[in-house]
Amino acid sequence: MTAPRPFRLGRAAPGVPVRDLDAALAFYVGVLGMTETFRNGDPVGFVIVERDDAEIHLTLQPSHRATTANVLHLMVDDAAALHQHLQEHGVRIVKGIRDADYGMRTFVMADPDGNRIDVGEDL
Protein backbone atom coordinates (compact mmCIF):
# COMPACT_ATOMS: atom_id res chain seq x y z
CA MET A 1 0.00 0.00 0.00
CA THR A 2 1.38 3.40 -0.90
CA ALA A 3 1.13 6.33 1.47
CA PRO A 4 -1.60 8.84 0.64
CA ARG A 5 -0.61 12.19 -0.75
CA PRO A 6 -0.14 14.75 2.01
CA PHE A 7 -3.35 16.48 2.97
CA ARG A 8 -4.74 18.23 6.00
CA LEU A 9 -7.90 17.23 7.82
CA GLY A 10 -9.92 20.08 9.28
CA ARG A 11 -12.08 20.27 12.38
CA ALA A 12 -14.47 17.34 12.70
CA ALA A 13 -18.11 17.93 13.58
CA PRO A 14 -19.89 14.81 14.82
CA GLY A 15 -23.52 14.25 13.98
CA VAL A 16 -25.63 13.44 17.04
CA PRO A 17 -29.10 11.94 16.54
CA VAL A 18 -31.82 13.28 18.86
CA ARG A 19 -35.53 12.53 19.32
CA ASP A 20 -36.46 16.06 20.44
CA LEU A 21 -34.53 19.11 19.22
CA ASP A 22 -35.94 21.40 21.92
CA ALA A 23 -34.78 19.07 24.70
CA ALA A 24 -31.40 18.65 22.99
CA LEU A 25 -30.98 22.42 22.68
CA ALA A 26 -31.91 22.90 26.33
CA PHE A 27 -28.96 20.62 27.14
CA TYR A 28 -26.34 21.64 24.56
CA VAL A 29 -27.11 25.38 24.74
CA GLY A 30 -28.63 25.72 28.21
CA VAL A 31 -26.29 23.40 30.14
CA LEU A 32 -23.12 23.18 28.03
CA GLY A 33 -23.26 26.84 27.04
CA MET A 34 -23.03 26.22 23.31
CA THR A 35 -24.51 28.63 20.77
CA GLU A 36 -26.92 27.67 18.02
CA THR A 37 -25.28 28.80 14.78
CA PHE A 38 -27.42 27.16 12.09
CA ARG A 39 -30.78 25.43 11.65
CA ASN A 40 -32.33 23.83 8.60
CA GLY A 41 -35.67 22.39 7.54
CA ASP A 42 -39.33 23.23 7.88
CA PRO A 43 -40.01 21.82 10.36
CA VAL A 44 -36.45 22.08 11.65
CA GLY A 45 -34.62 18.77 11.51
CA PHE A 46 -30.98 19.84 11.76
CA VAL A 47 -29.21 22.30 14.09
CA ILE A 48 -25.52 23.15 14.52
CA VAL A 49 -24.27 24.20 17.95
CA GLU A 50 -20.78 25.51 18.69
CA ARG A 51 -18.60 26.60 21.56
CA ASP A 52 -14.90 27.40 21.36
CA ASP A 53 -13.47 24.74 18.97
CA ALA A 54 -16.36 22.29 19.41
CA GLU A 55 -19.08 21.93 16.78
CA ILE A 56 -21.91 19.40 17.02
CA HIS A 57 -24.56 18.65 14.41
CA LEU A 58 -27.88 17.72 16.03
CA THR A 59 -30.07 15.70 13.68
CA LEU A 60 -33.72 14.99 14.42
CA GLN A 61 -34.42 11.24 14.39
CA PRO A 62 -37.72 10.67 16.27
CA SER A 63 -37.14 6.90 16.53
CA HIS A 64 -33.53 7.21 17.77
CA ARG A 65 -32.46 4.85 20.54
CA ALA A 66 -29.13 5.46 22.24
CA THR A 67 -26.60 2.66 22.56
CA THR A 68 -23.67 2.05 24.89
CA ALA A 69 -21.27 3.50 22.31
CA ASN A 70 -19.91 7.01 22.78
CA VAL A 71 -21.20 9.35 20.05
CA LEU A 72 -18.41 11.87 20.49
CA HIS A 73 -15.30 12.66 22.49
CA LEU A 74 -15.18 16.17 23.93
CA MET A 75 -11.78 17.55 24.93
CA VAL A 76 -11.89 20.16 27.71
CA ASP A 77 -9.34 22.11 29.73
CA ASP A 78 -10.92 21.33 33.15
CA ALA A 79 -12.80 18.04 33.34
CA ALA A 80 -13.39 18.38 37.09
CA ALA A 81 -15.10 21.77 36.70
CA LEU A 82 -17.32 20.48 33.90
CA HIS A 83 -18.14 17.34 35.89
CA GLN A 84 -19.21 19.46 38.88
CA HIS A 85 -21.26 21.78 36.63
CA LEU A 86 -23.06 18.81 35.09
CA GLN A 87 -23.83 17.31 38.50
CA GLU A 88 -25.29 20.65 39.63
CA HIS A 89 -27.59 20.54 36.58
CA GLY A 90 -28.70 16.94 37.13
CA VAL A 91 -26.96 15.54 34.05
CA ARG A 92 -26.57 11.76 34.11
CA ILE A 93 -22.95 10.71 34.59
CA VAL A 94 -22.48 7.27 33.02
CA LYS A 95 -18.87 6.71 34.15
CA GLY A 96 -17.42 8.74 37.00
CA ILE A 97 -14.43 11.03 36.73
CA ARG A 98 -11.02 9.39 36.98
CA ASP A 99 -7.40 9.88 36.02
CA ALA A 100 -6.68 7.21 33.41
CA ASP A 101 -3.30 5.54 32.92
CA TYR A 102 -3.16 6.96 29.38
CA GLY A 103 -2.68 10.51 30.71
CA MET A 104 -6.20 11.87 30.72
CA ARG A 105 -8.79 12.86 33.31
CA THR A 106 -11.98 11.44 31.89
CA PHE A 107 -15.66 10.71 32.46
CA VAL A 108 -18.72 9.85 30.39
CA MET A 109 -22.01 11.75 30.50
CA ALA A 110 -25.31 11.30 28.68
CA ASP A 111 -27.40 13.91 26.89
CA PRO A 112 -31.22 13.89 27.29
CA ASP A 113 -31.51 11.19 24.58
CA GLY A 114 -29.00 8.95 26.32
CA ASN A 115 -26.24 9.68 23.80
CA ARG A 116 -22.97 9.04 25.58
CA ILE A 117 -20.33 11.77 25.48
CA ASP A 118 -16.80 10.89 26.55
CA VAL A 119 -15.09 13.89 28.16
CA GLY A 120 -11.32 14.14 28.43
CA GLU A 121 -8.65 16.49 29.72
CA ASP A 122 -4.96 15.98 28.99
CA LEU A 123 -3.02 15.70 32.23
Provide the CATH number for the domain around residue 43. 3.10.180.10
pLDDT digits (tens, 9 = 90+) for 99-121: 999 999 999 999 999 999 999 99
Q: Evaluate whether residue 95 is within a structural domain.
A: yes
Taking the model in full, what pTM does it have? 0.91
72-101: buried (b, 16+ CB within 10 Å) or exposed (e) per residue? Answer: bebebeebeebbeebeeeebeeeeebeeee
Residue 8: the pLDDT is 79
Q: Evaluate whether residue 117 is within a structural domain.
A: yes
Mean pLDDT of 28-54: 96
Q: How many domains does the chain have?
A: 1
Residue 123: the pLDDT is 94
Q: Provide the domain limits for residue 36.
A: 15-122
Instruction: Reduce the DSSP state of residue 50 to 3 states and report it.
Output: strand
Q: Evaluate whether residue 63 is within a structural domain.
A: yes
Q: Interior CA angle at 83 toward 109 and 122, to 5°?
A: 95
Count CA within 13 A, CB hemisphere, residue 65: 0
Q: Evaluate whether residue 8 is within a structural domain.
A: no
Reported as type and span, the H/E element at residue 70 is strand 70-75
